[in-house]
Structure 1
Amino acid sequence: MAPPHDDKAAAEVNDDSTPKRPISNVLFIIAMQTEASPLVNKFQLVEEPESVFPKGVPWVRYYGKYKDLNINIVCPGKDKILGVDSVGTVSASLLTYASIQALQPDLIINAGTAGGFKAKGASIGDVFLASDIAFHDRRIPIPVFDLYGVGSRQAFSTPNLAKELNLKVGKLSTGDSLDMCPQDEAAIVANDATVKDMEGAAIAYVAHLLEVPAIFLKAVTDIIDGDKPTAEEFLQNLAAVTAALDLAAAQVVDFINGKSCSEL
């Protein structure tokens, strides 16, 4: 795991290779259609009629121009058998890899809903900018493999963005289950996570592999250490929290417009 640091620093990763030219191509990776639709409407994007993705996959791409930016929003689409959103790390990693190859983004934004911990200061409707991302359900109790399983990474450094938009900053932990077993809980505590999702660390892994800056916006739909069942609270708050997420995402895009990655 990465050494602890001040969350308010918002992901201390930047180097001399960071492009100085203005950002042109922004790629949103969003797991659920419900989360994506308001942004598609906000930016007046259109669905791609002929997919750049492999034949047969359910992935969906919306694209268009907003101010000086080319905006792409990609979703993993509906499971071809069950018809539900293809959430989770497998779909997210495949979609991220294919999207980077096809669309060559300057910046990735993973926007989505998440569970939050009130003990770490999370409330329903809060939007967090993730500083660090790690897995909590890849347990490999062998030296060094254990660190690989956790896969801790820092998000791209955006101190100016966090300050300007007054976003909360916290660590994100990712796993493929909506609920939380005792082993996952222990790993999440070890990750020092404020929010928990089902895609972020997978997207971070691929973005790091292919050297594309990535930031993570997570809006809290349910309080994991609260007194309500997670699934019930998630469904109850999804619509309202998605509205808060999309407002924050739109503000992020407005801030990004005309700036280079090094200015974020």
Structure 2
Amino acid sequence: MAPHDGKSVMEEFMASETEKRPISTIVIIIAMQTEALPLVNKFQLSEDPNPTFPKGVPWVRYHGIYKDLNINIIWLGNDSVFGVNSVGTVSASLVTYASIQVLKPDLIINAGTAGGFKAKGACIGDVFLASDIAFHDRRIPIPVFDLYGVGLQQAFSTPNLLKELSLKVGKLSTGDSLDMSPEDEASIIANDATIKDMEGAAIAYVVDLLEVPAIFIKAVTDIVDGDKPTVVEFRQNLAAVTAELDQAVTQVVDFINGKSLSEL
């Protein structure tokens, strides 16, 4: 039998078997400490003082056993020069790659806050499961390069999870700026995005390369096309919306426990 999409028969068999066995190891990637710590406490995780990441990186691993799951929360850490959370696509892609190499997860969850668009039905405190993920600030107006710049990916399909939990579904657009330039806005509209963040598409790119399933859970802190400045609204709502995110991620993890990828 000929290989399918470059995979051998044995590789396809192993992939099929992986989808059937219960999920064991989860990696949850979170950009901000404020978003990470409530979940660390919820799952009673411990900080790993000697994570096997490259020397000098600021990333922090919290780990432990919750029910039947080996859970790892990877916070991007504080930048060693500026002391702020290492948000953005560069840190997110590096952390994702290293975490897959070191921890060999069955599933990756990218959890965090995001901006939402009222024109697409988003409200403060809404929690979305992203269906599609793309970049909005990699504009390369050359045929084919333009598609590469957008980098459209689909999240891992979880129809049973969606049926069970009251999460909204929307497309996620990613860029390295908190604000939105007119050029970004045009790209976000072209992406048909409901939510906007600074890490998702970078993580989606890496998991696609390494063939690890991933889901993206985003809670809305600010309305990008609203009347209030993004920075003001983000700061006002961060604590309350993080609590909504915490609850949603806990529900997702509880649902995942004891199930295989094919049952999600």
TM-score range for the pair, normalised by the shorter chain length: over 0.9
Distance across 2 between alignment mates of 1:17 and 1:257? 18
**Paired residue type of 2:184:** D
Moved segments of 4+, more than 4 Å: 15-18
Mapped pair 1:217 → 2:217: yes
Structure 1, residues 10-58: CA drift from partner, whole Å, max 9, x if none? xxxxx95761100000100000000000000000000001121011111
Task: Provide the aligned length of Structure 1 versus Structure 2.
Answer: 250
Aligned match of 2:234: 234
Instruction: Indicate the SS of the match to 2:146.
Output: helix
Give ranges in structure 2 of 5+ residues lacking alignment. Answer: 1-14
Report matched runs for 1:1-264 at 5 Å.
16=16, 19-264=19-264
Q: CA deviation at 1:176?
A: 0.1
Residue pair 1:18, 1:262 contacting (<8 A) in 2 also: no
Q: Distance in 2 between matches of 1:115 and 1:82?
A: 24
Gap change, CA 1:18 and 1:184, over 3 Å in 2: farther
- Matched to 2:160, the amino acid is N
Q: Larger Cα Rg: Structure 1 or Structure 2?
A: 2
Q: Equivalents in 2 of 1:235, 1:162: separation in Å? A: 29
Which shifted more, 89-98 or 17-26? 17-26
Q: Return closer, same or farther for 1:155/1:255 CA change in 2, 3 Å cut-off.
A: same
Aligned to 1:6: none
Q: TM-score, normalised by structure 1?
A: 0.93
- What is the letter of the counterpart of residue 51 of structure 1? P
Contact 1:113 1:221 in 2 (8 A): yes
**CA displacement, residues 42-84 of structure 1 (integer Å, 9 cap, x when unaligned):** 0000000112101111110000000000000001100101100
Percentage identity across aligned positions?
Answer: 80
Tell me the secondary structure at the aligned position of residue 250 of structure 2: helix
- The alignment's C-alpha RMSD in Å is 0.9
Q: CA deviation at 1:166?
A: 1.7
Unaligned runs of 5+ in 1: 1-14
- For each residue in 1:135-164, what CA deviation from the matched residue of structure 2 results, as whole angstroms up to 9, or x when unmatched? 000000000000000000100000111110
**Which AA in structure 1 matches 2:220?**
V
Provide TM-score, normalisation by structure 2: 0.93
**Worse-superposed segment, 16-25 or 147-156:** 16-25
Code of the aligned partner of 1:101: Q
- State the alpha-carbon separation in 2 of the partners of residues 227 and 146 from structure 1: 32
- 1:97-135 CA-to-partner distances (Å, cap 9, x unmatched) read 000000000000000000000110100000000000000
